Amino acid sequence: MLERIGSGKLAAWLAPAKGVGWSVFETLVLLVAAIAVGIWLRPLDPLALDANFRWILLVPILLALRYGSLLGVFAMLCLIGSWFVLQFLGYYIGLRFPEGLMLGGFVITLIAGEFADLWRVRLMRSDSAASYALERLQNLTQRYVLLRLSHDRLEENLLIKPYTVRDALTRLRDLTLEESETVTLPASDDLMSLLAEYCHLQRAAIYPVSGDQVIDTPAAVLGECKPLEQDNALLAYALDSQTLAHVQQSEHDDVYHGLYLVVAPVLSSSGEINGVLVIERMPFLSINYENLQLLSVLLNFYADVVLSGTDARLLLDRWPELPFRMASEMVALTRLRKDVRVENSLTLFIADDSEQAGLILDALARGMRSLDLAWWINDRVLLMMMPMTGESGLEGFIMRTDNWLQDEFAFMSLRQAGVQFFYRHMDGRDAETQLAELLEAAGV
């Protein structure tokens, strides 16, 4: 269900984003069809003016609900024009123009159109929030798998390898951030070395992807690889499905004779493909579920770093202790706020020197929502990022915190407990400016 909402299918079905020309054409066709049915069923009264219910008004009302108030008003104008056309054709001779009916139709159509416009905006915001939640869920799943595989490899290789997968990823992340401004796939050689060591690659290459086209020039090469096969079936399948593909999958043709054993897209959590890894040679026993899963997760981690690399690096250059996860999410939320106006908040808590205030600060950090992220600037200052939290959500958070303080510590507010509270609602400006303004206002 979350995927269906996150992909925007619900909003697209209820409020289709069709072109103006098609909407006008649909309006004219429906109105002509309704009048034709009226002529067939009621030859003397096609518009059903003498009926118990004016059925002809259903056409502009339905169009207003489907496309909004503007198309509803256009439909009513067409309905008014149809009265004069019918009168010219010999219908309603001697009858006055039904002013009350048309005026009432205009009012009802405008109400229905305003209702449709309001809920179209709400649906778009709901779709954007669901898309962000789905992206966070996919990213969390990948990190969980990476953690489990890292522990397994640590148990197997601790005695023979001087560093862990986590150390390698940290080093890869730092190198990626350093080169992210000038290179399409930064630190790709280091990524290839990491994949060769942990996934047992022998001959492989990483190619950048621009739009739907794979660029022939490789960003990194391991071994003596042949030129890229643009028409390779395994490559086409991996790019179309946005998943790792290998020769042992049952979905492929049994007569596959391509050059590659494994093809894996460099896919971020938001679904953007930055590159593709093609493997020409690796040990047969290494083509197993655990090894290929580790390969896919490492590429996804790399893609997420590249996607938010430039803006996140600016934050990390200014505040080196800022967690990379918070920096990248802050960049993503700023982009989300600017594009679809999803509200997000930053909160800052500063505890005084009392032990009670420090305990309250620790409790606030433990009680965060699953979407929230925290940065301990020092042991007395805590910064929390609260995605999809606007003014009403922040007021609810403060109210719950005050009630908790009264029940647990007999304090009426955070200030009385020795904890200063600062906040700001994020806007469309760059994340560095907004974070600096909050820290400056708090005197941190």
126 has pLDDT over 60: yes
308 has pLDDT over 80: no
Tell me the average pLDDT across 284-310.
78
Check residue 262 and give its pLDDT.
Answer: 92
Query: Which of 164-168, 254-258, 370-374 has the highest mean predicted lDDT (pLDDT)?
Result: 370-374
Check residue 383 and give its pLDDT.
Answer: 93
Tell me the average pLDDT across 297-309.
73
Distance from C-alpha of 239 to C-alpha of 276, rounded to nearest angstrom: 8
Q: Which residues pair with 204 in a beta bridge?
A: 222, 279
Check residue 207 and give its pLDDT.
Answer: 93
Check residue 183 and give its pLDDT.
Answer: 66
289 has pLDDT over 80: yes
Chain-centroid distance, C-alpha 126: 11
Share the mean pLDDT of the chain: 81
Confidence band (pLDDT; 50, 70, 90) for 347?
very high
CA distances from 281 to 189, 196, 293, 301 (A): 18, 11, 17, 23
Check residue 328 and give its pLDDT.
Answer: 78
Check residue 276 and give its pLDDT.
Answer: 93
Check residue 38 and give its pLDDT.
Answer: 78
Tell me the average pLDDT across 377-389.
88
Distance from C-alpha of 302 to C-alpha of 392, rounded to nearest angstrom: 36
The four Cα atoms 110, 114, 120, 123 give a dihedral, to 10 degrees, of -140
Confidence band (pLDDT; 50, 70, 90) for 180?
low
Burial 127-157 (b: 16+ CB within 10 A, else e): bbbbbbbbbbbbbeebbeebeebbeebeeee
Supply the DSSP string of 246-291, one letter for each residue: ETT-TTS-TT---S-SEEEEEE-TTS-EEEEEEEEE--GGG-SHHH
pLDDT digits (tens, 9 = 90+) for 202-216: 999 999 988 888 898
Check residue 309 and give its pLDDT.
Answer: 62
Check residue 3 and give its pLDDT.
Answer: 44
pLDDT above 70 as % of the chain: 85
pLDDT above 90 as % of the chain: 8
Per the CB < 8 A criterion, the answer to whether 351 and 358 are in contact is yes
1 has pLDDT over 80: no
pLDDT digits (tens, 9 = 90+) for 40-65: 887 777 877 777 777 888 888 888 88
Confidence band (pLDDT; 50, 70, 90) for 15?
low
170 vs 413, higher pLDDT = 413
Check residue 206 and give its pLDDT.
Answer: 93
Tell me the average pLDDT across 302-313.
71
Distance from C-alpha of 269 to C-alpha of 287, rounded to nearest angstrom: 24
Distance from C-alpha of 206 to C-alpha of 415, rounded to nearest angstrom: 55
Tell me the average pLDDT across 168-195.
70
Tell which residue, 319, 287, 255, 42, has the closest CA to residue 263: 287
142 has pLDDT over 90: no
Per the CB < 8 A criterion, the answer to whether 428 and 416 are in contact is no
